[in-house]
Chains A and B, each alone.
Chain A
Amino acid sequence: MALIAPPPVPVPVEEIAMSRLTFGPRPAETYALMSIGLPLWLEAQLNPPAGDDASVNGRLAQVQIDGRPLGYLNAGIADLWALADANAADRNRPLQEAMAAAYVRGVYGDYQLKEVMTKFWLNHFNVSATKNLQTTATYLAFDRDAVRPNCLGNFRVLLGAVAKSTAMLYYLDNQSSAKPTANENFARELMELHTLGIASYLGRDPISTPTGATAPGYTDADVQAAAKCFTGWTAANGNRTAADGTKTNTGAFIFSPPIHDTTAKTLLGLSIPANGGIQEGESVLDVLARHPNTARFIATKLCRQLVADDPPASIVDKAAAAFMAHLDNPKQIAEVVRAIVFSPEFALSPGQKLKDPFQLVVSFFRATGMPWAPGSNLVNLVTGMGFAQFQYPSPDGLADTAAPWTGTSGMLTRWNAMYALTNPARGIGSPSFSAQTPPSKTSVDAVNYWVPAMLAYPITTPSALAIYQYAARLDVLGAANAFTNPTVMENGLRSLVAAIGAMPEFQVR
């Protein structure tokens, strides 16, 4: 495993779980996990209720963007679709609300694993909401209806919901794919990025076929045949004729027979007879979702997300086996996660994962308990760190390994972000750390409170030495009036909390 910044001493598996299966320690969450133990805590996390929990709903009701409460979170697809219009004043509003809700759920949600997994799948099935008016208007429904309810469910169900979501249809162009020259965008990324993985392309990893034979990976011909199967998978946009002959304009998924390529196709060794209609695409999804190469690809990505950038083959094997053993289980993905978390490799991986900018910021809100406001200031800050939330243009999604986030710009922006979040003038955080800090007389007291309050893992010696020294600076908390003048104290504590957020120990999970 790559050494990102491991803690100096062994840590209990509960601390790893708190870092990986949640968006970082929060005092109440840590207490709950430590009290009931990992198995019971995980059981509850793997079985979240539908919709948002009471804590999230309470917070969402308080949020305002541009002076208005969030009004589109429960809007139906037709109402969202009506905003896919360059003249609609609220055309960006559903996306802004989806972004804000992701932060609120990440910080306050009781079912943290659901948030972690929703983020994982939204990135796996990346859609750039700003590709066009239609993706902007319907991204919220993609998150809410396709991904979120299935994030711990069955992969085939998730895959089908994604393939039929309006946002994906407009992101990877399948909505306009028609006979006789099908658009290959969706079919290619379906195989390369959503299911089989690039390692199965053009004769590398052999792949088994439905007849039991093995083929040397999938080819461009398979991509083109699959693209033909998906012609007619489109959205009711007023121009497409549905199977019942109607032309509606609701934005909902429809199968449109007039543009479907009715010829017979062969792909991945599977013969698809002519005139199969919508069932052709369903058959392609069936084959892909049940494929052992898909199991391996998904298992690898999940282990990379939850264990290490370069996860040991032994834990990937276990996760892939769980995927194949539960193909028809409605909680298939939960079973894969369970297999990963209870593997010995998981317990040996503290500090092997770097927080991406979203995880860094959300974990900072959780660790500090600081009041904060979602909105464009927050979105712009995190975008400036390279994390284009819901807007990453390329279908491969944002990196889930450390290297791309640790270049000079990546490091600089994560350090500066900590100071921006604690500076009320930036319009994101509204800290009052003086009120949170137990009565203190020296900078050492303040460090001794805030370091353990914020860090998931034990601090290393260099960072401990550095933070005491930093806190003792005259311009932080070392001045004679640092604990008697309320303004000096608050400003000093803001610098201190920002500095803890900037240290190596806070960058890892």
Chain B
Amino acid sequence: MAEASMTVTRRRLIAGAAMAGVLAACPPGVRFAFAANGAARDVLLVVFLRGGMDGLNLVAPADDASYVAARPATLRVTDSGTGAGLALPRGPSQQSWRLNAAAAPLKDLYDSGDLAFVHATGLVADTRSHFEAQDLIEKGVTTTGALQGFSGWLGRHLVQQGAPPALGIVSAAQTVPVSLAGSPAVAIPSAGSFALSSAAAAPYLQASYGDVANLLGTAGSATLSALASFQAARAASPQSSTNPVGTSSFANALWVVAQLMNMNVGLQAATIDYGGWDTHSGQQGTFTNLATGLGAGLAAFYNTVAGQKGNLTVVVQSEFGRRLVSNASGGTDHGHGNVMTVLGGRVNGGRIYGGWPGLGTNALDHGDVPVTTDYRTVLAEILTTRRGAGDLSGVFPGLPAAAALGVVRAG
């Protein structure tokens, strides 16, 4: 048995080594050309704020009487006093729209015209469940009947656009989110440790996993291939070991994306999860910390890849907003409509988009901000204008035709 095994194994080994060799030999220029083929297509970075980010604590009409009455000042964006919100001109109503001061760096990007908000946006479905709302949003559908076995909206879009380069679709996390399901996405939580610790293991694992037609065989082969591509690209384009974005886990994920952009691997889309927003109690401290991390992280990341900002669009969303009226625990419970953030060199920024019905009792949806803009309308515009997407009926099935808000422009 050992005799026969050697023969076959050697053949597999050679096949594996040859494949790794081809990838290693492929100069970065070749891959850049592949990516440049779709030069009009932005790198699309989707940041998902897991837990239900309280949009009313991030961007709000600070002088709205219903708003002021519904919450203590510690859970509001205020228009005066210590920590007062920063004025956001061109809001959706004639009110004092302001940004939570903790996220101050976003104010600069807003003023420079690279950042826009879309308010009262979200999922056109009643659910107030984190997990169901995330699932629906990431799959790009509105009814749970469509959930079973369905792939992700971003994954479907990317597959529709043809085979991406080896590292063209990246989740900067330990897992691949539902939005990328159905695409050949690669999970890279940290660029510095995306390597086998034993070089001898590579050909062995190739032989053990390589030709096996089951879930593990497929997963193992995809992993070995991604590792080889990544090591080759990194060798061709060494990256600083110091993270200029920051030290938080959100900053680390942003740094993974920035490095891949700098390495010219032909990145098409990337996702980042930023969790901890489920602030049912003690919201003030938690939200301030998270919003600080959001503002500082996005701004530092944007600065790091400034040279490529004309081909970059960043979308920040969450599964739902939180209820207008706070609870007795110094927190807020699950709500509905929320604010989305769009950042990039071709964003028509410095504006808050979206229909704003106000916060009066009759305007609310079960006590929550209503959804006046289907979040998919915003994403569809970005895919069409910035990623050259054509027919989107397969990406967002059943999305009613709606005029684009004009959040982004061509060019």
Contacts and interface: CB of A to CB of B under 8 A. Distances in A.
A220 B128 CA distance: 8
Given A176-B281, A468-B9, A499 B132 contact: no
A69 interface: no
A2 interface: yes
A406 interface: yes
Given A177-B329, A466-B12, A184 B212 contact: no
A415 B205 contact: yes
A413 B173 CA distance: 12
A2 B215 contact: yes
Contact of A411 (B144, B173, B223, B327): B223
A176, A192, A420, A467 pick with most chain B CB within 10 angstroms: A176
B175 A393 contact: no
Given A184-B327, A412-B196, A466 B334 contact: no
Given A410-B187, A416-B197, A465 B326 contact: no
B132 to A, nearest CB: 6
Given A183-B280, A402-B215, A462 B187 contact: no
A183 B281 CA distance: 8
A324 interface: no
Contact of A465 (B9, B214, B219, B280): B9
A407 interface: yes
B201 interface: yes
Nearest to B219: A406
A183 B200 CA distance: 55
Contacts of B189: 409
Interface in A7-39: none
A181 B367 CA distance: 13
Interface in A144-201: 172-173, 176-185, 188, 192, 198, 201
Contacts, number: 201
B198 to A, nearest CB: 5
A181 B194 CA distance: 48
A406 B129 contact: no
A202 interface: yes
B207 interface: yes
Contacts of A101: none
A475 interface: yes
Given A462-B210, A469-B5, A408 B280 contact: no
B10 A469 contact: yes
Contact of A408 (B188, B327, B333): B188
Nearest to A393: B275
A184 B333 contact: yes
B201 A411 contact: no
Contact of A184 (B12, B187, B280): B280
Given A386-B174, A411-B220, A469 B328 contact: no
Interface in B183-240: 185-189, 194-198, 200-201, 204-205, 207-212, 214-217, 219-220, 222-223, 226-227
Given A201-B132, A408-B186, A408-B188, A4 B281 contact: no
A202 B126 contact: yes
Contact of B2 (A192, A202, A468): A468
A468 B6 contact: yes
B333 A499 contact: no
B130 interface: yes
A223 B275 CA distance: 24
B8 interface: yes
B330 to A, nearest CB: 8
Interface in B111-135: 126-132
B174 A504 contact: no
Contact of A469 (B13, B198, B227, B280): B13
Nearest to B275: A393
B131 A198 contact: yes
B129 A181 contact: no
A276 B81 CA distance: 44
A465 B207 contact: yes
Contacts of A179: 328
Given A406-B216, A470-B200, A183 B8 contact: no
A188 B219 contact: no
A409 B328 contact: no
Contacts of B187: 407-410
Contacts of A415: 196, 201, 205
Given A3-B214, A419-B198, A470-B200, A178 B205 contact: no
B239 to A, nearest CB: 18
A137 interface: no
Contact of B204 (A198, A354, A394, A466): A466
A470 B204 contact: yes
A473 interface: yes
A3 B280 contact: no
Interface residues of A, number: 71
B329 A183 contact: yes
Interface string A365-401: 0000000000000000000011000000110100000
A396 B276 contact: no
B90 interface: no
A464 interface: yes
A495 B198 contact: yes
Contacts of B128: 188, 220, 223
B227 A176 contact: no
A173 B328 contact: no
B334 A188 contact: yes
A329 interface: no
B227 to A, nearest CB: 7
B207 to A, nearest CB: 4
B131, B212, B328 pick with most chain A CB within 10 angstroms: B328
B243 to A, nearest CB: 17
Contacts of A416: 196-198
A409 to B, nearest CB: 4
Interface in B151-179: 171, 173-176
A220 B366 contact: yes
A125 to B, nearest CB: 15
B89 to A, nearest CB: 34
B275 to A, nearest CB: 6
B209 A181 contact: no
Contacts of A472: 6
A118 B145 CA distance: 33
B217 A467 contact: no
Interface in A457-509: 460, 462-470, 472-473, 475-476, 495, 498-499, 502-504, 507-508
A504 B208 contact: yes
A181 B280 CA distance: 12
Contacts of A508: 216
Contacts of B5: 464-465, 468-469
A473 B212 contact: no
B210 A476 contact: no
A183 B329 CA distance: 7
A177 B216 CA distance: 45
Contacts of A321: none
B60 interface: no
23 contacts: A177-B329, A179-B328, A183-B281, A183-B329, A183-B333, A184-B327, A184-B334, A185-B333, A202-B127, A220-B128, A354-B215, A407-B185, A407-B219, A407-B223, A408-B226, A415-B201, A463-B208, A466-B12, A467-B204, A469-B13, A469-B207, A475-B200, A495-B200
Given A184-B333, A407-B175, A468-B2, 18 more contacts: A173-B329, A183-B327, A188-B128, A202-B127, A220-B128, A259-B328, A354-B216, A386-B174, A396-B131, A403-B215, A407-B186, A412-B196, A412-B223, A468-B1, A476-B200, A503-B208, A504-B214, A504-B217
Interface of A: 2-6, 172-173, 176-185, 188, 192, 198, 201-202, 204, 220, 223, 259, 354, 385-386, 393-394, 396, 402-413, 415-416, 419-420, 444, 460, 462-470, 472-473, 475-476, 495, 498-499, 502-504, 507-508
The 4 closest A-B pairs by CB, nearest first: A469-B9, A466-B207, A176-B329, A406-B219
